[in-house]
Every structure is written in C-alpha cells, then in structure tokens.
Amino acid sequence: MIQLAPSILSADFANLEQEIKKVEEAGCDMLHIDVMDGHFVPNITLGPPIIKSLKNKTKLPFDVHLMIENPDQYIAQFVEAGADIITVHSETCIHLHRTIQLIKGCGIKAAVALNPSTPLVMIENVLEELDMVLLMTVNPGFGGQKLIPNMLEKIARLKRMIDERGLKIDIQVDGGVNLENIKQIAEAGANIIVAGSAIFNSTDIPETVKRLKENASS
C-alpha cells in the first residue's frame, strides 16, 4: 500500500494550520517537512519552532527531511519539536553510522537521503540500521521541479538491494511526483511518496490525493 507524504514546502505558509488539515482530511499518511539551511541547498525554509507550533494541530506523523549541514548538531532540537522520523543526507554526514545512531537513540525513526548523483553504495554499509531510504528524484532545494527520469532505475535497484537482504525498509521518493508518473514510481518499488506542488497547487486537494493513490496502485 502506497503512503502519501505531502511536502508543506508548496503549502500556503500564512495558513499552515488549515493547509495541514486539508491534507489530513484528504487521507494523506504523514507530513513531509523540508528543512533547508541555505548552505547544503540554495534555499532557506523553516526550523524547529515552526515544527513545534504545528505539532498539536494534527495527528499526522512528522517526516522531517533535513537538507542542512552538520545535522548532528540539531537532531535533539528537531526531536523535541515533534519529529517522528528524521532523514539526513548522506552527503552531509561524515560519520553517517554515528548520525543514524544519534537519531535512533532519541527513540524515533531514522532515514538517509541520497541526491540524484549520489550512488546507492553510500548506504550499503548502514542499510540494516535504517527505517527508510529517501531517493531524491530532483536536485534538492525547490519544489515544482521535474523528476529526473533515470532515477526510476535507481529506485528499482534499491528495492532489489533491500529484498536481497530480506529487510523491511521503506523506500521514499521525493521530487517531481505527479498524477502521470506516480504509477511508474510505485512500480519501481517506492512505497512512501512525497508530493508538494502536485497536492498543494491543485484546486481540489481531496480529489488529487484520491487520484494519486489510485494511480499509484492501478
């Protein structure tokens, strides 16, 4: 079963509470929160205080995608703010195994993200430790970009790698997902799908969420 994680990056920031209610009522499964520091990626978004202020407004789990340098330094703050799962980028972690332990030691789920140009081998030695792997299908930094087509093959290779080891690890895909390509992404092996602009820029969010889920499993 496909889970949908709307990215609030494309939501109306002046009305976040209502925007979150809309996707929760529409049947989405978790809230994808993109944290950007202006260093690792060329954009700045939000931090722990905003996340904390949203925590009691929804029952949806908080899926926090950290696109920041030195993530170790901030993990405790994001956990305290209400993160249920924290994703760090392999490109930002010199001691990736240590960072994963740090997240899990806080009692929440840990995930690692790979940029489109980063090979799967970067997570080979930590795969057993992970709850989820996030494959970026655009270069991170902005919503509304186009999915890079050869990432589909990368999703399929990751799925094989996980299955061959008999592991149960979620595969999340982030960037450029829309009604047309969600089926291929799900078929390649992703089971948690992030969608920002496809959901929040749509004029009928409940209908779009329903169709995304239908198309994914058609």
Question: Please, what is the minimum distance in Å from the beta carbon of residue 128 to ligand DX5?
Answer: 25
Most distant CA pair in the chain, distance: 46
**Catalytic residue status for 204:** no
Q: How far apart are CA 181 and CA 176, in angstroms?
A: 9
From candidates 78, 133, 174, 208, binder to Zn ion by CB under 5 A: 174
User: Is 179 within 8 Å of 161 (Cβ atoms)?
Assistant: no
* Residue 34 engages ligand DX5 in binding (rule: CB under 6 A): yes
By CB under 6 A, residue 99 contacts ligand DX5: no
What element of type H or E holds 156? helix 151-164
**Is residue 84 among the annotated active site residues?**
no
Q: Where are the alpha helices (DSSP H) in the chain?
A: 16-25, 48-55, 75-81, 96-105, 151-164, 182-188, 197-200, 205-216
φ/ψ region of 66 (left if φ > 0, alpha if ψ in -120 to 50, else beta) reads beta
| Interface pattern 63-92 for ligand DX5 (x via CB under 6 A) | --x---------------------------
Among 22, 45, 65, 111, binds Zn ion (CB under 5 A): 65
Q: Is 38 annotated as a binding residue?
A: no
User: Does 48 contact ligand DX5 by CB under 6 A?
Assistant: no
And the tokens for 52?
A: 């904390």
Q: Is 29 in the site for ligand DX5 (CB under 6 A)?
A: no
- Rounded least distance, CB 78 to ligand DX5, Å: 15
The residue annotated as part of the active site, out of 72, 131, 174, 204, is 174
| Residue among 93, 86, 176 at smallest CA distance from 134 | 86
Q: Are 182 and 215 in contact (CB under 8 A)?
A: yes
Contact stretch for Zn ion (CB under 5 A) within 29-37, 45-53, 94-102, 177-185: 29-37
Footprint of ligand DX5 on this chain (CB under 6 A)?
Answer: 7, 9-10, 32, 34, 65, 138, 140-145, 174-177, 194-198
User: Which residues does the annotation mark as catalytic?
Assistant: 34, 174
